[in-house]
Amino acid sequence: MFSGRAKSPESSGVVPLGSAARGFSGVVVGVGVASNDGGLQAGELERRLLEIGFVEGARVEILHEGAIGRDPIAVRLDDMRVALRRREANAVMVQADAGEAAYLTAAE
Amino acid sequence: MSLDLGETLESPSSPATDSVATPPPPTSATPTAIPRIALVGTPNCGKTALFNALTGARQKVANYAGVTVERKEGPVVAADGWRGRVVDLPGTYSLRARSPDEAVTRDVVLGRFAGEAEPDVIICVADATNLRLVLRLALELKSVGRPMVLALNMFDIAERQGWRIDVERLSRELGVPVVTTVATRKRGMETLLDAVRGLAVRPIEAHAWREPTSTELRVAHREAERIRKACVTQPTQPDTLTGRLDSVLLHPIAGSAILLTVLFLMFQAVFTWAQPVMDLIKAGFDHLATLVAQVMPEGVLRSLITDGVISGVGSVLVFLPQILILFLFIILLEDFGYMARAAFLMDKVMGGAGLHGRAFIPLLSSFACAIPGIMGARVIDSKRDRLTTILVAPLMTCSARIPVYTLIISAFIPNKTVWGFVNLQGLVMFGLYGAGIVSALLVGFIIRKLFWRGASEPFIMELPAYKLPDAKNVIMGVLTRAKIFLRRAGTVILSMMILIWFLSSVPGKPAGAVGPAIDYSFAGMIGHFIEPVLRPIGFNWQIAVALIPGMAAREVSVAALGTVYAVAGGAEAVGPLGNALHNQWSMPTALAFLAWFIFAPQCASTFGVVKRETNSWAWPTAMFAYMMALAYLAAFAAFHIAKASGL
Ligand SMILES: Nc1nc2c(ncn2[C@@H]2O[C@H](COP(=O)(O)OP(=O)(O)OP(=O)(O)O)[C@@H](O)[C@H]2O)c(=O)[nH]1
Ligand SMILES: [Mg+2]
């Protein structure tokens, strides 16, 4: 379904949040763009994500992953913590922080 | 155009409406009318704590999103005698309601709630340490056009963590009064009321709310973020405890092991800690029965009191300590902030069974009682996911099964230690709880596979910061449960017991008849009449007598057995019911009885609530049928397997 590690950073370094691994940290650059195989219309999922704070410019960091299939994930989203499934997280595009340092910023 | 998924299932007591703004009704704020004040805010920001602080009510407060799923109203009186009415509402991130609980909030705020005008004042409640989302909500609420106050709640935590919030600037930016509060310590209540009163007299503007588009949401977010940056500086001592605890409690392996251990400990505790107190209560009732037997002349009245009231109600009251220990555990977990973590850990398992990840919280609270569990399912936005949760919730072992399980376990399972540290009775109890959980998952899976194929709904849930449980809140919670239990014992159970005693004693034994009187009573006749149906699963006629009143409430079955065996054995048989059962039942019968109670549909009020929540008799009927079928099959299997293996 998703690759365990963050996709090898493309030149832009923008990946869907759902494909990033634990320890990833970065900034939201787009919401509601990824294909969505879920039961919701893409527009509805987008608004839900926006309402819970996944909005362009927000800082995200993946803190934890579930035991089975590394799903769901728990992320720090600015000052709050949010749990969501990778399928929904795929609709959030994130830009990794510069350099490998991103991988080292694990949960305090 | 709206996409209201939550409304597809009967949105509890709210008229179906589209999301287009309707013209405002004539203003209700006449000077004589008592102003109505609505508490609105994101989930878990302390609205109910504030409601309790203002009105003196004792609505449930706990540290997870989705505690409140209904509208609750109560009176507030200021120090100088000013009166208002406060309305507590379910938490929501936006007025664009997605689930039935959020629809309640939307409808109350917009004045669409059946027979209710719009609130005169809105208190927008905010968690002062987590302002980003609520500031956007506040902007959305402002567009409703009602006078509004922003309450910066949990200000104690904000101060402790060293947040600096420029309250005056915030008030200027938002254009509404801003008050700091600590709901759990009742701090800031008078100031809040003063601010509300200043607004309640203002004329009301026409409201212009409509569902925001995603572009509008982004714009509002930017504005909220601008305000936040201007008024709030980051904390000097941020909460690092939550992060550190999570790295253990949400760890893929350690976290799951801890969840299992917590549940296991809970059932061990229910069994072992409660025992001394239970023995004490039991001894007290035995003593009472002997005393009554000594001072009262032999006769009908004495039989009613000893056989009906004391051995019946007493046999249920004995279980109070166990039920309270269970509630203590659940309340501690809820207040600590663990429920959302449990839901996170269980999401994959729940998803595999076709249940929504958030369903784990209502299911876990069904350990206490299925009714709040079924109502808690309102936080699930998809109709199908919500129905599946409602249908399987009664399979979770509610506290009313504890008397039944305990009675049979202590009569038939030896009280010994296995593997060095595990109490065998506690282990069997854990197994029965496990059977409830596994069957709930299996039934969910089957429902999903047979009827409701298709993709599941999104799972997006805030994880609250951990909080040390507040001793007062915990004690209040446990005492409330004790009161509810005692009230049930004094009403439903007592009246059922008197009825059962009556049916077991009337008509009396004909002259010269042999055998105990109950054989000739109405109860005996009914029991003997039903027995053939239950014989294949190993039940005797006494059990048949006990099962029928058990439909009112499961505990009554235990009480009824107490009375049936007490009446049958005469006054001297008043004593440990467990012993009587041990002598009269075979092991296979006992096991079949336990298996029956895992599944049996035996609580009238549960069906009432399912009817109310689904707005149709079809679902409670389906639930009754499938549970009855499972109960019969499980008891049949348990009885015959146990017999075949020579138990
Ligand atoms: N320290 C502190 N804790 C608070 C305060 N207000 C509420 N809490 C705690 O915050 C948690 C949530 O409180 P609730 O009143 O249940 O929140 P709610 O907004 O009603 O939540 P929902 O009904 O789920 O939307 C509980 O653990 C409360 O004890 C406060 O002012 N200070
Ligand atoms: Mg509440």
B452-510 pLDDT, tens per residue? 766 667 889 999 999 999 898 899 889 988 898 888 888 877 888 888 888 877 777 66
Q: In this predicted structure, what is the pLDDT of residue B18?
A: 34
Average pLDDT, chain B: 85
Contact B458 A45 (CB under 8 A): yes
Of the two residues B144 and B23, the one the predictor is more confident about is B144
Q: By the 8 A CB rule, do B195 and B179 touch?
A: yes
Full strand arrangement of the beta sheet holding B83-88: B72-77, B83-88, B36-41, B121-127, B148-153, B178-180
- One-letter amino acid for residue B293 of the chain: A
Assigned domain for A8 exists: no
pLDDT in tens, B98-122: 889 999 999 999 988 878 888 999 9
How near does any CA of chain A get to the CA of B456, in Å? Answer: 6
Contact B96 A51 (CB under 8 A): yes
Assigned domain for A43 exists: yes
Contact B461 A87 (CB under 8 A): no
**Among A27, A55, A59, A82, the residue to mutate for chain B (most B Cβ within 10 A):** A55
Tokens representing residue B91 in the block? 């938490």
Assigned domain for A73 exists: yes
Q: How far is CA B82 from CA B76, B176, B527, B573, B597, in A?
A: 8, 22, 61, 62, 53
Kindly state the helix (H) or strand (E) to which residue B211 belongs, with its residue range: none
**Is the predicted pLDDT of residue B175 greater than 60, yes or no?**
yes
pTM reported for the whole predicted model = 0.85
Nearest to A72 among B96, B382, B459 (CB): B459
Q: In this predicted structure, what is the pLDDT of residue B513?
A: 63
**Region B143-172 average pLDDT:** 94
**At B11, is the pLDDT very low, low, confident or very high (cuts 50, 70, 90)?**
very low
User: How far away, in angstroms, is B434 Cα from ligand 1 center?
Assistant: 31
Q: Is the Cα dihedral B57, B62, B64, B67 positive or negative?
A: negative
**Region B359-387 average pLDDT:** 87
Assigned domain for B197 exists: yes
Nearest to B94 among A51, A71, A72 (CB): A51
DSSP one-letter code for B415: -
**Region A78-102 average pLDDT:** 84
Q: How far apart are CA B249 and CA B264, in angstroms?
A: 16
**Is the predicted pLDDT of residue A9 greater than 60, yes or no?**
no
**Is the predicted pLDDT of residue B30 greater than 70, yes or no?**
no
Is the peptide bond between B532 and the residue preceding it cis, with omega within 30 degrees of 0? no
ipTM over 0.95? The verdict is: no
Quote the domain boundaries for residue A70. 14-98
Q: How far apart are CA B353 and CA A107, in angstroms?
A: 31
- As a whole-number percent, the residues of chain B with pLDDT over 70 amount to 90
Q: How far apart are CA B577 and CA B177, in angstroms?
A: 64
Contact A63 B132 (CB under 8 A): no
Assigned domain for A103 exists: no
- The bound ligand whose nearest atom lies closest to the alpha carbon of B180 is 1
Q: Is B378 in the pocket of ligand 1 (CB under 6 A)?
A: no
Which residues have C-beta within 8 Å of that of residue A108, sequence separation ≥ 6? B240, B243, B244
Nearest to B460 among A41, A48, A79 (CB): A48
Q: Is B366 in the pocket of ligand 1 (CB under 6 A)?
A: no
Minimum-distance ligand 1 atom for the alpha carbon of B60: 16
Average pLDDT, chain A: 79
**Is the predicted pLDDT of residue B29 greater than 60, yes or no?**
no
Minimum-distance ligand 1 atom for the alpha carbon of B68: 23
Closest among B121, B178, B139 to B155, alpha carbons compared: B178
Q: How far is CA B392 from CA B109, B339, B346, B396, B453, in A?
A: 33, 19, 16, 7, 17
Q: By the 8 A CB rule, do B225 and A57 touch?
A: yes
DSSP one-letter code for B49: H
Q: In this predicted structure, what is the pLDDT of residue B180?
A: 97
Q: In this predicted structure, what is the pLDDT of residue B568?
A: 63
Q: What is the CA radius of gyration of chain B?
A: 28
**In chain A, what residues touch B464 (CB-CB under 8 Å)?**
81
Contact A67 B256 (CB under 8 A): yes
Assigned domain for A52 exists: yes
- Ligand 2 ion local residues (Cβ < 5 A): B 47-48, 67-68
**Region B247-252 average pLDDT:** 92
**Is the predicted pLDDT of residue B27 greater than 90, yes or no?**
no
Which CATH number fits the domain that encloses residue B156? 3.40.50.300
**Please, how many CA atoms are within 13 Å of residue B299, restricted to the half-sphere of its CB?**
4
Q: Count the domains in chain B.
A: 1
Q: How far apart are CA B472 and CA B630, in angstroms?
A: 42
pLDDT in tens, B34-78: 899 999 999 999 999 999 999 999 999 999 999 999 999 999 999
**Is the predicted pLDDT of residue B28 greater than 70, yes or no?**
no
**Region B136-164 average pLDDT:** 93
Q: What is the CA radius of gyration of chain A?
A: 13
Q: Count the domains in chain A.
A: 1
Assigned domain for B114 exists: yes
- Looking only at the bridges linking them, the beta strands covering A14-16 and A92-96 are antiparallel
Q: How far apart are CA A35 and CA B328, in angstroms?
A: 45
Q: Is B47 in the pocket of ligand 1 (CB under 6 A)?
A: yes
Q: In this predicted structure, what is the pLDDT of residue B420?
A: 77
Q: By the 8 A CB rule, do B340 and B462 touch?
A: yes
Which residue's CA is the closest to the ligand 1 atom numbered 27?
A: B63
CA angle B150/B153/B158 to nearest 5° reads 120
Which residues have C-beta within 8 Å of that of residue B548, sequence separation ≥ 6? B526, B530
Q: In this predicted structure, what is the pLDDT of residue B7?
A: 34
**Is the predicted pLDDT of residue B571 greater than 70, yes or no?**
no
Nearest to B344 among A57, A79, A83 (CB): A83
Assigned domain for B89 exists: yes
Give the E-state strand segments of B376-514 in sequence order.
Answer: 417-418, 422-423, 460-463
Of the two residues B183 and B645, the one the predictor is more confident about is B183
3-state secondary structure of B262: helix
Assigned domain for B452 exists: no
**At B129, is the pLDDT very low, low, confident or very high (cuts 50, 70, 90)?**
very high
pLDDT in tens, B380-424: 888 888 899 999 999 998 888 888 888 888 889 888 888 877 788
Q: In this predicted structure, what is the pLDDT of residue B524?
A: 84
Assigned domain for A79 exists: yes
Which residue's CA is the closest to the ligand 1 atom numbered 13?
A: B46
**Is the predicted pLDDT of residue A3 greater than 70, yes or no?**
no
Nearest to B217 among A51, A63, A65 (CB): A51
Tokens representing residue B411 in the block? 């009569």
Sole residue written with tokens 């199908």 = B384
Tokens representing residue B388 in the block? 């599946």
Tokens representing residue A31 in the block? 């919401």
Q: By the 8 A CB rule, do B302 and B571 touch?
A: yes
**In chain B, what residues touch A71 (CB-CB under 8 Å)?**
347-348
**In chain A, what residues touch B343 (CB-CB under 8 Å)?**
83
- One-letter amino acid for residue B367 of the chain: F
Q: Is B70 in the pocket of ligand 1 (CB under 6 A)?
A: no
**Region A64-77 average pLDDT:** 91
Q: In this predicted structure, what is the pLDDT of residue B41?
A: 97
Contact B217 A85 (CB under 8 A): no
Which CATH number fits the domain that encloses residue A76? 2.30.30.90
Assigned domain for A104 exists: no
**At B207, is the pLDDT very low, low, confident or very high (cuts 50, 70, 90)?**
low
Q: In this predicted structure, what is the pLDDT of residue B300?
A: 78
Q: Is B43 in the pocket of ligand 1 (CB under 6 A)?
A: yes
Assigned domain for A2 exists: no
**Region B289-303 average pLDDT:** 83
Q: Is B68 in the pocket of ligand 1 (CB under 6 A)?
A: yes
**Is the predicted pLDDT of residue B16 greater than 60, yes or no?**
no
Assigned domain for B298 exists: no
CB atoms within 10 A of CB B84: 21
**Is the predicted pLDDT of residue A101 greater than 70, yes or no?**
no
**At A6, is the pLDDT very low, low, confident or very high (cuts 50, 70, 90)?**
very low
Q: How far apart are CA B194 and CA B186, in angstroms?
A: 15
**In chain A, what residues touch B240 (CB-CB under 8 Å)?**
108
**Please, how many CA atoms are within 13 Å of residue A57, restricted to the half-sphere of its CB?**
9
Minimum-distance ligand 1 atom for the alpha carbon of B63: 27
- One-letter amino acid for residue B643 of the chain: K
pLDDT in tens, A29-40: 999 865 545 556
3-state SS, B125-187, equals EEECCCCHHHHHHHHHHHCCCCCEEEEEECHHHHHHHCCEECHHHHHHHHCCCEEECEHHHCE
Quote the domain boundaries for residue B65. 17-233
**Region B616-636 average pLDDT:** 94
**Region A50-62 average pLDDT:** 94
Q: In this predicted structure, what is the pLDDT of residue B89?
A: 96
**Is the predicted pLDDT of residue B223 greater than 80, yes or no?**
yes
Which residue's CA is the closest to the ligand 1 atom numbered 32?
A: B154
